Amino acid sequence: MTKLSVNINKVATLRNARGGNVPNVLQVALDCEKFGAEGITVHPRPDERHIRYQDVFDLAPAIQTEFNIEGYPSREFLDMVLQVKPAQATLVPDPPEVLTSNAGWDALTHKRFLQEVIAELKEAGIRTSIFMETNENQINAARETGADRIELYTENYAKGFSVNRDAAVAPYVLAGKVAQELGLGLNAGHDLDSINLKFFAKQVPALLEVSIGHALISDALYWGLENTIQLYRRALQI
């Protein structure tokens, strides 16, 4: 069954809006695990506008499921990841000024850079995943970087779901098959939600993990965190 990793960035955004420690990011992460999440994801950015680097260090010894740290592989980011040694590092090609991740890697252009970064992470025993779009040539290049997995960037699927869900998911089905043939593990994330998740998970082959933050935390405002995590997990039970 596909694992659900809860991205808790938005919890940190709410905390940072007032200062102090309410809501408590560490406690929310532990509660997510208690309520059924099979992983915790964070994406610290250089300006620390949500998750702070100190949060990462606080979370690392407490997380009992899989800890996934996303981010652009700057030297500062890599040093933190190598010190923390999470289960997984997901490399994302976003510059510091972007609001949220909005594109996958050009693994053809940046292959050498990614090879060097991934080799360093794998030497430390950290599973690596790189944020990718559905282009077959790019996925082939991703395999040549040495990555263990790719994470498919699913915004286009989410946008197209209400118009024609079959057409929207088709490129991801093909990308999943390509990844499978190449021996790459498959993750997915970005704008997956309680409405479009089940269809995506049912159609895309060998999907190992989804990372969901904004939609899940937003739904929790109405349905409660425990109920929302259980709802998302049921969507993955196909």
Domain containing residue 170: CATH number: 3.20.20.70
The angle subtended at Cα 158 by Cα 152 and Cα 160, nearest 5°, is 115
Total tally of structural domains belonging to the chain: 1
Give catalytic status of residue 120 as yes or no. Answer: no
Residue 75 belongs to what domain range? 3-235
- 55, two tokens: 């949060």
Catalytic residue among 33, 66, 70, 209: 70
- Enter the pTM of the model: 0.95
Mean pLDDT value across the chain: 95
pLDDT of residue 89: 98
Residue 171 has pLDDT above 90, yes or no: yes
* 43 in catalytic set: yes
* pLDDT for residue 235: 97
43, 50, 66, 151: the catalytic one is 43
* Residue 69 confidence class, pLDDT cut points 50, 70, 90: very high
State mean pLDDT over 188-209: 97
Specify whether 50 is catalytic: no
Which entry of 33, 38, 133, 190 is annotated as an active-site residue?
190
Say yes or no to pLDDT of 98 above 70: no
